[in-house]
A and B are shown apart, each in its own frame.
Chain A
Amino acid sequence: MSSTRCAACKHLRRRCPSDCIFSPYFPSDNPQRFAYVHKIYGASNVAKILQDLPVNRQSEAADSLYYEAHCRIKDPIHGSVGIITLLYQQIYNAQTQLSKIQAEIAVLSANAQTESKYQQQVEHMPNFDANLLPQQKGVYDPSTWLYQNGL
Protein backbone atom coordinates (compact mmCIF):
# COMPACT_ATOMS: atom_id res chain seq x y z
CA MET A 1 0.00 0.00 0.00
CA SER A 2 1.36 3.35 -0.99
CA SER A 3 2.56 5.35 2.00
CA THR A 4 1.07 8.52 0.50
CA ARG A 5 -2.26 7.93 -1.13
CA CYS A 6 -3.61 10.47 -3.57
CA ALA A 7 -6.75 12.40 -2.70
CA ALA A 8 -8.84 10.13 -4.91
CA CYS A 9 -7.74 6.90 -3.29
CA LYS A 10 -8.10 8.43 0.17
CA HIS A 11 -11.64 9.48 -0.70
CA LEU A 12 -12.43 6.09 -2.15
CA ARG A 13 -10.69 4.37 0.74
CA ARG A 14 -8.63 2.13 -1.38
CA ARG A 15 -5.04 1.30 -2.10
CA CYS A 16 -3.23 3.82 -4.30
CA PRO A 17 -1.27 1.88 -6.91
CA SER A 18 1.91 3.23 -8.45
CA ASP A 19 0.16 3.79 -11.78
CA CYS A 20 -2.96 5.38 -10.28
CA ILE A 21 -4.61 7.48 -12.98
CA PHE A 22 -5.69 10.07 -10.43
CA SER A 23 -2.56 10.61 -8.37
CA PRO A 24 -0.75 13.10 -10.67
CA TYR A 25 -3.82 15.37 -10.81
CA PHE A 26 -5.47 14.95 -7.44
CA PRO A 27 -2.78 15.33 -4.82
CA SER A 28 -3.52 14.48 -1.22
CA ASP A 29 -3.09 18.08 -0.07
CA ASN A 30 -6.23 19.17 -1.96
CA PRO A 31 -9.04 16.78 -1.05
CA GLN A 32 -11.73 19.20 -2.19
CA ARG A 33 -10.56 18.93 -5.78
CA PHE A 34 -11.39 15.25 -6.08
CA ALA A 35 -14.46 15.51 -3.86
CA TYR A 36 -16.07 18.00 -6.25
CA VAL A 37 -15.17 16.02 -9.33
CA HIS A 38 -16.38 12.78 -7.79
CA LYS A 39 -19.67 14.32 -6.72
CA ILE A 40 -20.53 15.55 -10.22
CA TYR A 41 -18.95 13.02 -12.53
CA GLY A 42 -18.15 9.97 -10.48
CA ALA A 43 -14.72 8.41 -10.15
CA SER A 44 -15.16 5.86 -12.93
CA ASN A 45 -16.30 8.47 -15.47
CA VAL A 46 -13.36 10.70 -14.61
CA ALA A 47 -10.97 7.76 -14.95
CA LYS A 48 -12.43 6.89 -18.36
CA ILE A 49 -12.13 10.48 -19.58
CA LEU A 50 -8.52 10.73 -18.45
CA GLN A 51 -7.50 7.33 -19.77
CA ASP A 52 -8.83 8.15 -23.23
CA LEU A 53 -6.51 11.13 -23.49
CA PRO A 54 -2.79 11.34 -24.20
CA VAL A 55 -0.74 11.78 -21.05
CA ASN A 56 0.28 15.33 -21.94
CA ARG A 57 -3.38 16.45 -22.07
CA GLN A 58 -4.60 14.75 -18.92
CA SER A 59 -3.58 17.56 -16.59
CA GLU A 60 -5.58 20.13 -18.54
CA ALA A 61 -8.56 17.79 -18.65
CA ALA A 62 -8.41 17.28 -14.88
CA ASP A 63 -8.28 21.03 -14.34
CA SER A 64 -11.23 21.70 -16.61
CA LEU A 65 -13.25 18.90 -14.99
CA TYR A 66 -12.60 20.45 -11.59
CA TYR A 67 -13.60 23.89 -12.88
CA GLU A 68 -16.88 22.58 -14.29
CA ALA A 69 -17.61 20.54 -11.18
CA HIS A 70 -16.99 23.56 -8.99
CA CYS A 71 -19.32 25.69 -11.12
CA ARG A 72 -22.01 23.00 -10.99
CA ILE A 73 -21.80 22.68 -7.22
CA LYS A 74 -21.94 26.44 -6.82
CA ASP A 75 -24.87 26.73 -9.24
CA PRO A 76 -26.64 23.36 -9.55
CA ILE A 77 -29.06 24.64 -12.19
CA HIS A 78 -26.77 26.42 -14.64
CA GLY A 79 -23.26 25.21 -13.82
CA SER A 80 -20.54 26.66 -16.00
CA VAL A 81 -23.15 27.57 -18.63
CA GLY A 82 -24.17 30.38 -16.27
CA ILE A 83 -20.71 31.88 -16.71
CA ILE A 84 -21.01 31.56 -20.49
CA THR A 85 -24.31 33.45 -20.38
CA LEU A 86 -22.75 36.15 -18.21
CA LEU A 87 -19.81 36.52 -20.61
CA TYR A 88 -22.13 36.83 -23.61
CA GLN A 89 -23.96 39.59 -21.74
CA GLN A 90 -20.68 41.38 -21.02
CA ILE A 91 -19.68 41.12 -24.67
CA TYR A 92 -23.02 42.54 -25.76
CA ASN A 93 -22.74 45.43 -23.29
CA ALA A 94 -19.19 46.23 -24.35
CA GLN A 95 -20.11 46.15 -28.04
CA THR A 96 -23.05 48.44 -27.43
CA GLN A 97 -20.91 50.89 -25.50
CA LEU A 98 -18.25 50.74 -28.20
CA SER A 99 -20.77 51.56 -30.91
CA LYS A 100 -22.08 54.52 -28.93
CA ILE A 101 -18.62 55.93 -28.35
CA GLN A 102 -17.62 55.43 -31.97
CA ALA A 103 -20.71 57.38 -33.01
CA GLU A 104 -19.75 60.13 -30.57
CA ILE A 105 -16.25 60.25 -32.02
CA ALA A 106 -17.69 60.56 -35.53
CA VAL A 107 -19.79 63.53 -34.42
CA LEU A 108 -16.87 65.20 -32.64
CA SER A 109 -14.59 64.68 -35.63
CA ALA A 110 -17.19 66.15 -37.97
CA ASN A 111 -17.64 69.16 -35.68
CA ALA A 112 -13.89 69.66 -35.45
CA GLN A 113 -13.61 69.61 -39.24
CA THR A 114 -16.49 72.06 -39.58
CA GLU A 115 -14.85 74.43 -37.08
CA SER A 116 -11.57 74.17 -38.92
CA LYS A 117 -13.17 74.97 -42.29
CA TYR A 118 -15.07 77.90 -40.78
CA GLN A 119 -11.91 79.25 -39.27
CA GLN A 120 -10.09 79.04 -42.60
CA GLN A 121 -12.94 80.83 -44.34
CA VAL A 122 -12.94 83.64 -41.78
CA GLU A 123 -9.21 84.18 -42.10
CA HIS A 124 -9.31 84.31 -45.90
CA MET A 125 -12.11 86.85 -46.05
CA PRO A 126 -11.00 90.33 -47.22
CA ASN A 127 -10.64 92.86 -44.44
CA PHE A 128 -13.68 95.05 -45.12
CA ASP A 129 -14.21 98.27 -43.23
CA ALA A 130 -17.64 99.77 -43.92
CA ASN A 131 -16.48 103.15 -42.65
CA LEU A 132 -13.53 103.60 -44.95
CA LEU A 133 -13.73 103.09 -48.70
CA PRO A 134 -10.46 103.25 -50.60
CA GLN A 135 -11.33 106.52 -52.28
CA GLN A 136 -12.88 108.11 -49.20
CA LYS A 137 -11.33 109.61 -46.16
CA GLY A 138 -13.05 110.46 -42.92
CA VAL A 139 -15.94 108.80 -41.13
CA TYR A 140 -19.27 107.83 -42.74
CA ASP A 141 -22.27 109.40 -41.06
CA PRO A 142 -25.37 107.27 -41.72
CA SER A 143 -27.73 110.12 -40.75
CA THR A 144 -26.47 112.39 -43.50
CA TRP A 145 -25.24 109.78 -45.96
CA LEU A 146 -22.07 111.84 -46.10
CA TYR A 147 -18.48 111.26 -45.20
CA GLN A 148 -17.54 113.85 -42.62
CA ASN A 149 -14.13 115.42 -42.64
CA GLY A 150 -13.44 113.81 -45.92
CA LEU A 151 -15.35 115.66 -48.50
Chain B
Amino acid sequence: MSGPNGSGGGPCGACKFLRRKCVKGCIFAPYFDSDQGTTHFAAVHKVFGASNASKMLLRIPPHKRLDAVVTLCYEALARVRDPVYGCVGHIFTLQQQVVNLQAELAYIQARISTLHRLPLPPPPPPPPPPPQPPSLSSSNVQSSSGFVSSSNIMTHFDTSQSEEASTEMASFCNAVDQELEDGDLQSLARDYVSRCLNGVKFRPSTSQ
Protein backbone atom coordinates (compact mmCIF):
# COMPACT_ATOMS: atom_id res chain seq x y z
CA MET B 1 0.00 0.00 0.00
CA SER B 2 2.92 2.34 -0.57
CA GLY B 3 2.47 5.48 -2.50
CA PRO B 4 4.04 8.84 -3.33
CA ASN B 5 5.18 10.97 -0.45
CA GLY B 6 3.45 14.01 -1.83
CA SER B 7 6.53 15.94 -2.77
CA GLY B 8 6.73 15.48 -6.50
CA GLY B 9 4.90 12.35 -7.53
CA GLY B 10 1.43 13.82 -7.67
CA PRO B 11 -1.16 13.73 -4.95
CA CYS B 12 -1.63 10.60 -2.89
CA GLY B 13 -4.87 8.69 -3.06
CA ALA B 14 -6.26 10.47 -0.03
CA CYS B 15 -5.50 13.96 -1.23
CA LYS B 16 -6.73 13.04 -4.67
CA PHE B 17 -10.03 11.98 -3.15
CA LEU B 18 -10.20 15.07 -0.95
CA ARG B 19 -9.16 17.28 -3.86
CA ARG B 20 -6.53 19.04 -1.88
CA LYS B 21 -2.86 19.73 -2.24
CA CYS B 22 -0.77 16.82 -1.09
CA VAL B 23 1.82 18.45 1.15
CA LYS B 24 5.19 17.04 2.08
CA GLY B 25 4.78 14.86 5.13
CA CYS B 26 1.15 14.04 4.35
CA ILE B 27 0.13 11.44 6.91
CA PHE B 28 -1.76 9.41 4.31
CA ALA B 29 0.71 9.55 1.44
CA PRO B 30 2.85 6.53 2.38
CA TYR B 31 -0.19 4.30 2.55
CA PHE B 32 -2.63 5.43 -0.13
CA ASP B 33 -1.36 5.48 -3.70
CA SER B 34 -3.17 7.37 -6.39
CA ASP B 35 -4.78 4.27 -7.91
CA GLN B 36 -6.31 1.69 -5.59
CA GLY B 37 -5.48 3.89 -2.65
CA THR B 38 -8.16 6.33 -3.72
CA THR B 39 -10.84 3.64 -3.52
CA HIS B 40 -9.63 2.48 -0.14
CA PHE B 41 -9.48 5.98 1.20
CA ALA B 42 -12.98 6.66 -0.03
CA ALA B 43 -14.23 3.86 2.20
CA VAL B 44 -12.12 5.04 5.14
CA HIS B 45 -13.40 8.56 4.69
CA LYS B 46 -17.01 7.42 4.51
CA VAL B 47 -16.84 5.28 7.64
CA PHE B 48 -14.30 6.98 9.87
CA GLY B 49 -13.81 10.40 8.32
CA ALA B 50 -10.47 11.86 7.24
CA SER B 51 -9.99 13.77 10.47
CA ASN B 52 -10.59 10.74 12.69
CA ALA B 53 -8.37 8.56 10.53
CA SER B 54 -5.61 11.14 10.68
CA LYS B 55 -5.88 11.42 14.47
CA MET B 56 -5.77 7.64 14.85
CA LEU B 57 -2.66 7.35 12.71
CA LEU B 58 -0.91 10.16 14.53
CA ARG B 59 -1.40 8.35 17.82
CA ILE B 60 0.36 5.25 16.48
CA PRO B 61 4.14 4.88 16.16
CA PRO B 62 5.26 5.30 12.52
CA HIS B 63 6.51 1.70 12.19
CA LYS B 64 3.04 0.41 13.10
CA ARG B 65 1.01 2.72 10.90
CA LEU B 66 0.99 0.46 7.89
CA ASP B 67 -0.73 -2.30 9.91
CA ALA B 68 -3.20 0.23 11.24
CA VAL B 69 -4.01 1.49 7.75
CA VAL B 70 -4.53 -2.05 6.49
CA THR B 71 -6.94 -2.86 9.29
CA LEU B 72 -8.76 0.46 8.97
CA CYS B 73 -9.25 -0.17 5.26
CA TYR B 74 -10.46 -3.69 5.98
CA GLU B 75 -13.02 -2.48 8.49
CA ALA B 76 -14.13 0.39 6.29
CA LEU B 77 -14.59 -1.79 3.22
CA ALA B 78 -16.44 -4.39 5.29
CA ARG B 79 -18.75 -1.69 6.63
CA VAL B 80 -19.43 -0.35 3.15
CA ARG B 81 -20.22 -3.88 1.99
CA ASP B 82 -22.39 -4.67 5.03
CA PRO B 83 -23.62 -1.48 6.71
CA VAL B 84 -25.36 -3.40 9.49
CA TYR B 85 -22.64 -5.72 10.76
CA GLY B 86 -19.45 -4.62 9.02
CA CYS B 87 -16.63 -7.04 9.80
CA VAL B 88 -18.34 -8.07 13.04
CA GLY B 89 -20.45 -10.41 10.91
CA HIS B 90 -17.27 -12.15 9.83
CA ILE B 91 -16.23 -12.46 13.47
CA PHE B 92 -19.52 -14.14 14.36
CA THR B 93 -19.14 -16.55 11.44
CA LEU B 94 -15.63 -17.49 12.54
CA GLN B 95 -16.77 -17.89 16.14
CA GLN B 96 -19.42 -20.32 14.96
CA GLN B 97 -16.78 -22.26 13.02
CA VAL B 98 -14.57 -22.47 16.10
CA VAL B 99 -17.46 -23.74 18.20
CA ASN B 100 -18.35 -26.36 15.60
CA LEU B 101 -14.76 -27.54 15.42
CA GLN B 102 -14.50 -27.69 19.21
CA ALA B 103 -17.67 -29.77 19.36
CA GLU B 104 -16.31 -32.09 16.68
CA LEU B 105 -13.02 -32.39 18.58
CA ALA B 106 -14.84 -33.27 21.78
CA TYR B 107 -16.82 -35.94 19.93
CA ILE B 108 -13.71 -37.38 18.29
CA GLN B 109 -11.82 -37.39 21.60
CA ALA B 110 -14.68 -39.24 23.27
CA ARG B 111 -14.61 -41.75 20.43
CA ILE B 112 -10.87 -42.29 20.72
CA SER B 113 -11.10 -42.76 24.47
CA THR B 114 -13.73 -45.40 23.78
CA LEU B 115 -11.39 -47.17 21.37
CA HIS B 116 -8.64 -47.10 24.00
CA ARG B 117 -10.99 -48.75 26.49
CA LEU B 118 -11.82 -51.72 24.20
CA PRO B 119 -11.09 -55.11 25.95
CA LEU B 120 -7.70 -56.65 25.19
CA PRO B 121 -7.54 -60.00 23.34
CA PRO B 122 -7.69 -62.89 25.85
CA PRO B 123 -4.48 -64.77 26.76
CA PRO B 124 -3.62 -67.92 24.77
CA PRO B 125 -5.61 -70.97 25.87
CA PRO B 126 -3.92 -73.37 28.33
CA PRO B 127 -2.59 -76.78 27.20
CA PRO B 128 -5.63 -78.48 25.93
CA PRO B 129 -7.73 -81.39 26.80
CA PRO B 130 -8.65 -83.89 24.08
CA PRO B 131 -9.45 -82.32 20.72
CA GLN B 132 -12.81 -80.68 20.41
CA PRO B 133 -14.62 -79.30 17.42
CA PRO B 134 -14.03 -75.55 16.94
CA SER B 135 -16.70 -73.32 18.53
CA LEU B 136 -17.22 -69.79 19.68
CA SER B 137 -15.42 -69.16 22.94
CA SER B 138 -16.70 -66.82 25.64
CA SER B 139 -13.89 -64.36 24.87
CA ASN B 140 -15.06 -63.97 21.27
CA VAL B 141 -18.57 -63.10 22.47
CA GLN B 142 -17.18 -60.57 24.92
CA SER B 143 -15.21 -58.68 22.26
CA SER B 144 -18.27 -58.33 19.99
CA SER B 145 -20.35 -57.00 22.87
CA GLY B 146 -17.53 -54.51 23.53
CA PHE B 147 -17.93 -53.13 20.01
CA VAL B 148 -21.66 -52.97 20.49
CA SER B 149 -21.32 -51.02 23.73
CA SER B 150 -18.89 -48.55 22.10
CA SER B 151 -21.37 -47.89 19.30
CA ASN B 152 -24.06 -47.22 21.92
CA ILE B 153 -21.79 -44.69 23.57
CA MET B 154 -21.25 -42.93 20.24
CA THR B 155 -24.98 -42.88 19.52
CA HIS B 156 -25.63 -41.32 22.90
CA PHE B 157 -22.95 -38.73 22.24
CA ASP B 158 -24.48 -37.84 18.86
CA THR B 159 -27.82 -36.97 20.39
CA SER B 160 -26.23 -34.63 22.91
CA GLN B 161 -23.79 -33.02 20.44
CA SER B 162 -26.12 -30.24 19.31
CA GLU B 163 -26.85 -29.24 22.89
CA GLU B 164 -23.16 -29.17 23.69
CA ALA B 165 -22.48 -27.04 20.57
CA SER B 166 -25.09 -24.46 21.59
CA THR B 167 -23.78 -24.42 25.15
CA GLU B 168 -20.27 -23.91 23.86
CA MET B 169 -21.46 -21.07 21.58
CA ALA B 170 -22.97 -19.22 24.51
CA SER B 171 -19.90 -19.80 26.66
CA PHE B 172 -17.51 -18.87 23.83
CA CYS B 173 -19.36 -15.64 23.14
CA ASN B 174 -19.17 -14.91 26.85
CA ALA B 175 -15.45 -15.58 26.91
CA VAL B 176 -14.68 -13.37 23.89
CA ASP B 177 -16.93 -10.54 24.94
CA GLN B 178 -16.45 -10.70 28.69
CA GLU B 179 -14.61 -7.41 28.80
CA LEU B 180 -17.44 -5.64 27.09
CA GLU B 181 -19.92 -6.96 29.66
CA ASP B 182 -22.77 -6.15 27.35
CA GLY B 183 -25.65 -8.58 27.07
CA ASP B 184 -26.84 -6.74 23.93
CA LEU B 185 -23.72 -7.89 22.09
CA GLN B 186 -24.42 -11.53 22.82
CA SER B 187 -27.96 -11.14 21.60
CA LEU B 188 -26.52 -9.43 18.50
CA ALA B 189 -24.32 -12.47 17.89
CA ARG B 190 -27.27 -14.81 18.32
CA ASP B 191 -29.44 -12.71 16.00
CA TYR B 192 -26.71 -12.65 13.36
CA VAL B 193 -26.03 -16.36 13.45
CA SER B 194 -29.72 -17.25 13.56
CA ARG B 195 -30.29 -14.98 10.59
CA CYS B 196 -27.45 -16.44 8.54
CA LEU B 197 -27.44 -20.04 9.69
CA ASN B 198 -30.94 -21.41 9.62
CA GLY B 199 -31.74 -24.04 12.17
CA VAL B 200 -29.10 -23.01 14.70
CA LYS B 201 -30.67 -22.49 18.08
CA PHE B 202 -29.07 -21.18 21.23
CA ARG B 203 -29.48 -21.84 24.88
CA PRO B 204 -29.98 -18.51 26.72
CA SER B 205 -26.78 -17.25 28.28
CA THR B 206 -26.65 -17.54 32.06
CA SER B 207 -25.09 -14.07 32.33
CA GLN B 208 -28.27 -12.33 31.14
Contact = CB atoms under 8 A, between A and B. Distances in A.
Contacts of B112: 101, 104-105, 108
Contacts of A74: 179
Contacts of B84: 53, 57, 60-61, 64
A123 B116 contact: no
B115 A112 contact: yes
B121 interface: yes
A91 B185 contact: no
Contact of B86 (A65, A105, A119): A65
A88 B139 CA distance: 48
Contacts, number: 148
A94 B88 contact: no
Interface string A55-81: 001001101111110101010111111
Interface in A92-110: 94-95, 97-98, 101-102, 104-105, 108-109
Given A78-B67, A84-B90, A90-B98, A41 B108 contact: no
- The prevalent SS among residues of B at the interface is helix
A118 interface: yes
Interface residues of A, number: 56
A42 B52 contact: yes
Nearest to B87: A80
A93 B39 CA distance: 35
B89 to A, nearest CB: 8
Interface size grouping (class) on chain B: 35 or more
A135 interface: no
Contact of B98 (A39, A87, A109, A124): A87
A52 B80 CA distance: 11
> Of B91, B104, B137, B180, which is in contact with the most chain A CB atoms at under 10 Å from its CB?
B91
B47 A67 contact: no
A74 B71 CA distance: 14
Interface in B45-76: 46-49, 51-52, 56, 59-60, 64, 67-68, 70-72, 74-75
Contacts of B180: 67, 70
21 contacts: A42-B52, A49-B83, A57-B84, A63-B188, A64-B86, A67-B180, A67-B185, A70-B180, A76-B56, A77-B60, A80-B75, A81-B71, A81-B87, A94-B102, A105-B108, A105-B111, A115-B121, A119-B140, A123-B140, A126-B131, A127-B128
Ranked nearest first, the 8 interchain pairs of A and B with the lowest CB-CB distance are: A87-B94, A94-B101, A81-B71, A64-B88, A127-B131, A63-B188, A108-B115, A61-B84
